[in-house]
């Protein structure tokens, strides 16, 4: 089992797409083990996107991500990090495949609706930045027995 950090960016919240996007992850069979609306601080934004600090788009990215609340989610499942990245699609909505969230719902390489951790190591770092341990539940969905075969969970 892996847990990954997903957040619905300000454009998704402002465009009223939260329900639609959450449904993609939910109906896939993943479990939400934490969720909260966050007005992102400059400090959290800088820490979260530290790897991009030297990129020309960094100031615009900080401005965007702190401009309006985001919906932060901890999502769990086998290979959750890679499964969520596949559901999200390529960074730029104009190039993302149809059927992905960005491919179906977006047209921008900046306002691209959703963040997903890019590796298990990033997921661990990002979850610790965004959630306290007490905010992450340990519940198991009883529907998992219909979503997964035991061999899927090896």
Residue 48: active-site member: no
Minimal distance in Å, beta carbon 40 to ligand IDP? 13
Q: Which of 29, 103, 109, 120 binds ligand IDP (CB under 6 A)?
A: 109
Coil vs helix vs strand at 69: coil
Q: Which of 2, 103, 104, 118 binds ligand IDP (CB under 6 A)?
A: 118
Residue 84's binding partner among ligand IDP, Mg ion, none (Cβ under 5 to 8 angstroms by kind) is none
The 31-38 sheet, strands edge to edge: 31-38, 70-77, 2-8, 114-116
Interaction between residue 66 and ligand IDP (CB under 6 A): no
End-to-end distance of the chain based on CA atoms, in angstroms? 9
The CA-atom distances, in angstroms, between 73 and each of 5, 18, 34, 108, 135 are 6, 11, 5, 22, 10
Q: Which of 112, 126, 127, 130 binds ligand IDP (CB under 6 A)?
A: 112
Strands in the chain per DSSP E = 2-8, 31-38, 70-77, 114-116
Q: Do the Cβ atoms of 69 and 10 come closer than 8 Å?
A: yes
Interaction between residue 91 and ligand IDP (CB under 6 A): yes
Q: Which of 18, 44, 110, 136 binds ligand IDP (CB under 6 A)?
A: 110
Interaction between residue 48 and ligand IDP (CB under 6 A): no
Residue 18's binding partner among Mg ion, ligand IDP, none (Cβ under 5 to 8 angstroms by kind) is none
Q: Which residues are catalytic?
A: 115
């Amino acid at each position: 089992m892996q847990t990954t950090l997903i957040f619905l960016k300000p454009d998704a919240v402002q465009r009223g797409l939260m329900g639609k996007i959450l449904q993609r992850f939910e109906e896939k069979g993943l479990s939400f083990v934490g969720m909260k609306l966050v007005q992102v601080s400059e400090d959290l934004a800088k820490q979260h996107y530290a790897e991009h600090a030297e990129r020309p788009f960094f100031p615009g990215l900080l401005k965007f991500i702190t401009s309006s609340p985001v919906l932060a989610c901890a999502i769990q499942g086998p290979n959750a990090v890679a499964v969520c990245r596949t559901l999200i699609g390529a960074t730029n909505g104009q190039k993302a495949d149809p059927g992905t969230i960005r491919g179906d719902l977006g047209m921008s390489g900046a306002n691209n609706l959703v963040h997903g951790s890019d590796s298990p190591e990033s997921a661990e770092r990002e979850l610790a930045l965004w959630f306290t341990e007490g905010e992450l539940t340990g519940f198991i969905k009883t529907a998992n027995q219909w979503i997964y075969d035991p061999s899927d969970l090896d």
